[in-house]
Amino acid sequence: MALDKESVRDALSVREYVEYLGIQLRRVGNSLRGACPLCGGSKRATKFSITGERWHCYGCGESGDVFALAQLMERCDFSSAVKQIAGIAGVAPTVEYDESERKRRQQVRAMKERDKQKRQLRERQQAETSAGAVWEHLALESESGRRYLAKRGIWGLHGEVRFGKNSVCLPLRQTDGRITNVVGRYIDDRSPKIRGLKGCGTLGMFGDFRKLDVTTGPVMLTEGLADWCSARLLWTERLILGAHGGHRMADITRMIAAQLKKRGRALMFVAHRDNAGKRATKAALEAARSEGLLDENLFVYWVQGNDLNDELREP
């Protein structure tokens, strides 16, 4: 809390302060005289003199204004002396100063936050711009990758799946086909989660939505990478889309809902009957309904067993 020293000075005169200290003052000419609160003296002493708002002691040689006296009395610094005098005078700290300072700090914080968001957006845009190039440079073939997929009954996706060092990769696309991330699943299962390019957003989907009009039947939306691959093999005439994790199914539903609605196309969620799958499907159905898709165009395909393509797996 800040104090305006001028208003404090106006609130308590030197005379009032000295009297507050217990000194009796007597008028002598145009000054007030009494014992010095600093160097003492008897009640009848006249060494201490006040003229206007200045004081002077002929004994100890000190002099000054009300704050100088408080500093010497309290053996403190200037601002503490102002507080001391304000306390005696009953002056409240001024709030105007604090308010403007608070607002200024708030503005600085808001500006820093805006700069941070701008920087993050710029970094993300740069990262997303490079995602397409990263995808183009991934290998089309990989022996270990092919074996990994074959074990899961997945083969021959001819470039739709590509290979990084020790990983099987898919692009995340926007509805216009633009690639904004590349995600990979590690072949050795050391890190079972699929991971995307650093700095890129994960709001995107597996599959190319631009193929909507050259496919028939319901659009299929799977929970993840492996199911997307399996569904591509099982339903070749359909548009297969996939989420980067089940929790993204609702987001993708919102991305595509308007165009599905316009064309009267059905949407079928492909999900596992575990808790995560049920939760993801519930959220996706809610998103679809809130976007105006009709129940008659919404379906759920519950995956039987462990995997969508269990029957296609190598024995």
Query: In the bound complex, what is the minimum distance in angstroms from residue 49's beta carbon to Zn ion?
Result: 10
Query: In the bound complex, what is the minimum distance in angstroms from residue 10's beta carbon to Zn ion?
Result: 26
Residue with Cβ nearer Zn ion (16 or 62): 62
Instruction: Examine residue 283 and tell whether it contacts Zn ion (CB under 5 A).
Output: no
Residue with Cβ nearer Zn ion (35 or 271): 35
Query: In the bound complex, what is the minimum distance in angstroms from residue 43's beta carbon to Zn ion?
Result: 15
Query: In the bound complex, what is the minimum distance in angstroms from residue 36's beta carbon to Zn ion?
Result: 3
Residue with Cβ nearer Zn ion (57 or 70): 57
Instruction: Examine residue 68 and tell whether it contacts Zn ion (CB under 5 A).
Output: no
Residue with Cβ nearer Zn ion (49 or 222): 49
Interface with Zn ion (CB under 5 A), residue from 11, 59, 88, 124:
59
Query: In the bound complex, what is the minimum distance in angstroms from residue 59's beta carbon to Zn ion?
Result: 4
* DSSP letters spanning the chain: -B--HHHHHHHS-HHHHHHHTT---EEETTEEEE-BTTTB--TT---EEEETTEEEETTT--EE-HHHHHHHHHT--HHHHHHHHHHHHTPPPBHHHHHHHHHHHHHHHHHHHHHHHHHHHHHHHHHHHHHHHHHHTSBS--HHHHHHHHHTT----TTSSEEETTEEEEEEE-TTS-EEEEEEEETTSSS-S-EE-TT-----BBS-GGGGGG--SPEEEESSHHHHHHHHHH-TTS-EEE-SSGGGHHHHHHHHHHHHHHHT--EEEEEESSHHHHHHHHHHHHHHHHTT--GGGEEEEEEPSSSTTGGGS--
Q: How many residues bind Zn ion (CB under 5 A)?
A: 6
Segment near Zn ion (CB under 5 A), from 56-64, 186-194, 231-239, 240-248?
Answer: 56-64
Each residue 22-51 as x (binds Zn ion by CB under 5 A) or -, in order, gives --------------x-xx------------
Segment near Zn ion (CB under 5 A), from 59-67, 180-188, 196-204, 217-225?
Answer: 59-67
Query: In the bound complex, what is the minimum distance in angstroms from residue 35's beta carbon to Zn ion?
Result: 9
Query: In the bound complex, what is the minimum distance in angstroms from residue 32's beta carbon to Zn ion?
Result: 14
Contact criterion met (CB below 8 Å) for 271 and 277: yes
Instruction: Examine residue 57 and tell whether it contacts Zn ion (CB under 5 A).
Output: yes
Residue with Cβ nearer Zn ion (29 or 61): 61
- Scan residues 160-179 and list those touching Zn ion (CB under 5 A): none
Report the residue count for the chain. 315
- Scan residues 70-129 and list those touching Zn ion (CB under 5 A): none
Work out whether strand 54-57 and strand 63-64 pair parallel, antiparallel, or are unpaired.
antiparallel
Mention every residue, 6+ apart, whose C-beta is less than 8 A from residue 62. Answer: 38, 39, 56, 68, 72
Interface with Zn ion (CB under 5 A), residue from 60, 72, 150, 212:
60
Query: In the bound complex, what is the minimum distance in angstroms from residue 11's beta carbon to Zn ion?
Result: 25
- Applying CB under 5 A, the residues found at the interface with Zn ion are 36, 38-39, 57, 59-60
